[in-house]
Structure 1
Amino acid sequence: MPGSASPVSTPPQVRPWERFALGGLVVAVAAVMGVAALAREDDQSTAGVAVADADPLDAERARGVQELLDRWATATVSGDEAAVVGLVDDAADPAFRDDQVNRARWASGVPFADFGYELTGESVVVPPQWTERFDGTELWAPTARFRHALAGADEQPTRKPVSLLVARRGADWLLVSDAPIPGTDRETWRGPWDHGPVTVTTVQTAGGPSVVLAHPGDEPMRDALAREVGPAIDHVSRIWGDSWARRAVVVVTASHEEFSALVGPGHDGANIAAVAVSDAPLPGEVSPSGQRIVFGPTADERLGEHSRAGVLRHELTHIAARAVTVDGSPMWMLEGYAEYVAHRDEDRPARVLAPELAARFASDDLPGALPSDADFAGDSAAVAYETAWSVCAYVADRYGERALTDLYRALATGARTDAEVDEVVRTRLGVGVAALVEDWARWVPGRFA
């Protein structure tokens, strides 16, 4: 059954790999991806966008709109629905006004440490359909970012894109729309509080408060994850170490639309259990901003106790390693290591954890090489993931877990040629890739006996 995989992508694109989970379960490979990389990129490309202002923003206009955004943030986070209504232009779409009222109602119960909007210094041309509708009214379409952080769980805020349209009425600026503007690449990020009432469960974990955000009706999944996140964090730390936040924000989505909004377009969670997302890390950063583990809307139906715990540990491994993981690193190392950590100390036999690889072994058809990045998509994904897990399990068994973690750190530094990978493996383990695969193939029979 197909699942999703870990995109380690180049901002702002999200390119998750399709994958099968160990044991045939539908789970997501942790997406250590820059899905929120807008938070760290102030110089986003405007290719394909009609830029309205070549000169710096008019100071008076920018000041007036920033004041509007500040009032919007205050009204929303405090749940002041009347104040929100007063900030929306009378000619705006009533659905937009209703959405803002609901957002204020649903966001007010979330423990934000920071919540605000900020202009970026760019704007786009207002489409004719808006100028015609607001004939004679000054309209402006600035690019803004939504900034937020959860109390205790986030060391620093994450920033998400907002597509904004505002109108001047006398001396005041009012909100008109936050919908995507046709002909541009401007979009608005939607959080869990845009998709319904939010329940918040905070639990103390090794690095501080971990937060589980869910919706009414998701209580069984929410409560299970709240129980399991602390032990899962400890489990990951036993092999990765303590040099990471050791806390997490976990989101249980209630719809395919919500999952896609949090993970990336084109991924609705229909065949995905969970994905981890993160802002692009800064050099030397221990806890990148925007780290979230997002569970799909059908995860509770698909995952049993063992598989749910394995998914959580897998995603947390990607969260833990994100600060030292460079986009484009070999997938067999990134995913194999996360799967090894997820299933470390499991008492289930290898043929249960890796049924596709077990079938290949029974047919005397073991892979003769490490999986390529392309193998982690489509029909080859199951064997690729299970092979990567098994090779990492072999390295841990033969050379020790510290050697496996050191190998991860050495290979997670970006894209490499086959020759470069071979050199790293040879330096760390004393054998090249070909010998490693041969030794692994001799080790496998003892695991599938």
Structure 2
Amino acid sequence: MAGQGFFGWTAGRRRGAALVLTGLVLAGSLLTGGCADAPRRDTTGQEVQRTLDARAAAVLRHDEAGYLAALDPSARQLKAAGRTEFANLAEVPLSSWEYRLTGVRRSGDDRATADAELRYRLDGYDTSPVTAERRLELAERDGRWYITADRPGRGGGQQLWQQGDIEVVRGTHSLVLGVGQEPARLRRIAADADRAVPAVTTAWGGAWAGRVVVVVPASLDAMGRLLGAPAEEYRGIAAVTTGSAAAPGRGGGPASADRVTVNPEAYGVLGDLGRRVVLTHETAHVATRAHTSAATPLWLSEGFADWAAYRGDGRDPRRAAPELRRAVLRGDLPAALPTDGDFRFGGDARALGRAYEGGWLACALIADRWGEERLRAFYRAVGASGARDGAVESAFDKVLGTSLERFTRDWREYVGERLG
């Protein structure tokens, strides 16, 4: 299971480029008997964009020399790293690759720092691009700008091709990209994902892409670098899903390009049932992404994913919700539905377990009492709300004909009955 790291939500993410040009020279000295000089326009942003456009085009036409031509000729280590990264990308099925500048700052006559979005899509899998924030340092040589450093932007992580040679495995409904993994292991993960996709399609009952991209880094530490977070936060977490949630009120719009990232250490110790549950849970996040917005509380998004994973397997809730059952048996029944803060990684593992189990049983209660179709409608209604405040309350009223307060009382009773 996983927590908020499932989503890495970035509601309202920028969709266009906001080019910031600095260093404008406003030369306005008035000459006797003449007129003021016209201001000299700074074209740094346009010139840097041309460098990045050429680099992007080289990636798509598999042109190593063109890709490396964007790098400072004197930066030997950067050139070596760039050559390796380009080779690591060789098997990745890219359909698009572009850079969009969001800011350029001059620092002296021949130096600049640029913030850019790297946007790329995998052919046959991504209907919208993955966006990665990059911080670029550049130098001007003979009238042309060259990259001298290329790092993750604020809060960003490494890219998979920066970690090693990528092995690609295609399943029936899945694409698995792995580094440092045996092909046989990647094929098993693809088989697990292929089982998860039809199960989620049945549970969700609505249109979605019907395919999933799974990323398998070499280690837990490598996973942390990919996600731009301390690796310890993911110890014991078998997999997480990252993607962009829709802005409030935009539920049902185009889905983002999600990635399921597997922790090879935690996933590797799971049995067949555990692997099935994990990848079905993660795939449910992919399927519901277009209807998940910043208005959606984590108890609902994580609870629905667990409900989809456990649906129809006849599992005894007392075994599937051990942490919450312990609380019930000691008379510590939760007073309210789990908050988003209860799903934090890196904290009390038992509290995290109770949050997941509570969300699952909330969704199970809706499915049991109102029916599965009402559960799906409730999920969509919350995600389509124009704001977080009142979204759940409105959906309880309009879809289920109850209130948050009444549902919470019913949920507490349901938890006590199922786990007592």
Instruction: Tell me the number of residue pairs that the alignment of Structure 1 and Structure 2 aligns.
Output: 398
CA RMSD across the alignment: 3.2
Of 327, 339, 348 in structure 2, the residue corresponding to residue 372 of structure 1 is 339
Question: How many angstroms apart in 2 are the aligned matches of 1:99 and 1:78?
Answer: 19
- The answer for the alignment partner of 1:31 in structure 2 is 7
Question: How many angstroms apart in 1 are the aligned matches of 2:112 and 2:170?
Answer: 40
Is the CA contact 1:142–1:163 (under 8 Å) kept in the aligned structure 2? yes
The 3 A distance-change label for structure 1 pair 124 and 65 is closer
Is the CA contact 1:218–1:252 (under 8 Å) kept in the aligned structure 2? no
Question: How many angstroms apart in 2 are the aligned matches of 1:160 and 1:325?
Answer: 21
Q: Whose radius of gyration is greater, 1 or 2? A: 2
The 3 A distance-change label for structure 1 pair 351 and 72 is same
Question: How many angstroms apart in 1 are the aligned matches of 2:155 and 2:150?
Answer: 8
Of 374, 381, 397 in structure 2, the residue corresponding to residue 410 of structure 1 is 381
After TM superposition, the score normalised by the length of structure 2 is 0.82
- The answer for the alignment partner of 2:192 in structure 1 is 228
Task: Please state if 1:167 is matched with 2:139.
Answer: yes
Of 96, 100, 112 in structure 2, the residue corresponding to residue 114 of structure 1 is 96
Q: Which amino acid aligns with 1:5?
A: G
Question: How many angstroms apart in 1 are the aligned matches of 2:353 and 2:372?
Answer: 24
2:367 partner SS: helix
- The answer for the alignment partner of 2:53 in structure 1 is 70
Q: For 1:390-409, list aligned pairs within 5 A.
A: 390-409=361-380
Question: How many angstroms apart in 2 are the aligned matches of 1:52 and 1:263?
Answer: 31
> Which protein, 1 or 2, shows the higher relative CO under an 8 Å CA cutoff with sep ≥ 6?
1
Is the CA contact 2:251–2:293 (under 8 Å) kept in the aligned structure 1? no
- The answer for the alignment partner of 2:28 in structure 1 is none
- The answer for the alignment partner of 1:144 in structure 2 is 116
- The answer for the alignment partner of 2:32 in structure 1 is none
Same amino acid, percent of matched pairs:
30
Is the CA contact 1:124–1:141 (under 8 Å) kept in the aligned structure 2? yes
Deviation at 1:85, TM superposition (A): 4.4
The 3 A distance-change label for structure 1 pair 362 and 399 is same
The 3 A distance-change label for structure 1 pair 263 and 41 is farther
Of 196, 211, 229 in structure 2, the residue corresponding to residue 247 of structure 1 is 211
Q: Structure 1, unaligned stretches of length 5 or more?
A: 7-15, 17-29, 132-136
Question: How many angstroms apart in 1 are the aligned matches of 2:389 and 2:193?
Answer: 34
Is the CA contact 2:251–2:290 (under 8 Å) kept in the aligned structure 1? yes
Q: Which amino acid aligns with 1:100?
A: G
1:318 partner SS: helix
Question: How many angstroms apart in 2 are the aligned matches of 1:271 and 1:435?
Answer: 35
Is the CA contact 1:245–1:287 (under 8 Å) kept in the aligned structure 2? no
Task: Please state if 1:124 is matched with 2:105.
Answer: yes
- The answer for the alignment partner of 2:243 in structure 1 is 278
- The answer for the alignment partner of 1:314 in structure 2 is 281
Deviation per CA, 1:238-287, whole angstroms, max 9, x where unpaired? Answer: 12223222212111122345423443334563342221111344746654
- The answer for the alignment partner of 1:22 in structure 2 is none
Deviation per CA, 1:52-84, whole angstroms, max 9, x where unpaired? Answer: 346899576545433432332344455544554
Deviation at 1:393, TM superposition (A): 1.1
Q: Which amino acid aligns with 1:150?
A: L
Q: Which amino acid aligns with 1:276?
A: T
Q: Which amino acid aligns with 1:431?
A: T
The 3 A distance-change label for structure 1 pair 202 and 408 is same
Of 294, 305, 308 in structure 2, the residue corresponding to residue 327 of structure 1 is 294
Q: For 1:25-104, list aligned pairs within 5 A.
A: 30-31=6-7, 33-34=9-10, 38=13, 40=15, 42-43=17-18, 52-53=22-23, 61-77=44-60, 79-92=62-75, 94-104=76-86
Is the CA contact 1:330–1:416 (under 8 Å) kept in the aligned structure 2? no
Is the CA contact 2:168–2:176 (under 8 Å) kept in the aligned structure 1? yes
Q: Which amino acid aligns with 1:72?
A: R
Q: Structure 2, unaligned stretches of length 5 or more?
A: 26-38
The 3 A distance-change label for structure 1 pair 421 and 219 is same
1:251 partner SS: strand
Question: How many angstroms apart in 2 are the aligned matches of 1:66 and 1:303?
Answer: 47
Question: How many angstroms apart in 2 are the aligned matches of 1:150 and 1:274?
Answer: 20
Deviation per CA, 1:188-218, whole angstroms, max 9, x where unpaired? Answer: 753211110001122333xxxx311112424
Of 108, 130, 135 in structure 2, the residue corresponding to residue 158 of structure 1 is 130
Question: How many angstroms apart in 1 are the aligned matches of 2:325 and 2:243?
Answer: 34
2:146 partner SS: strand
Is the CA contact 1:70–1:117 (under 8 Å) kept in the aligned structure 2? yes
The 3 A distance-change label for structure 1 pair 187 and 274 is closer
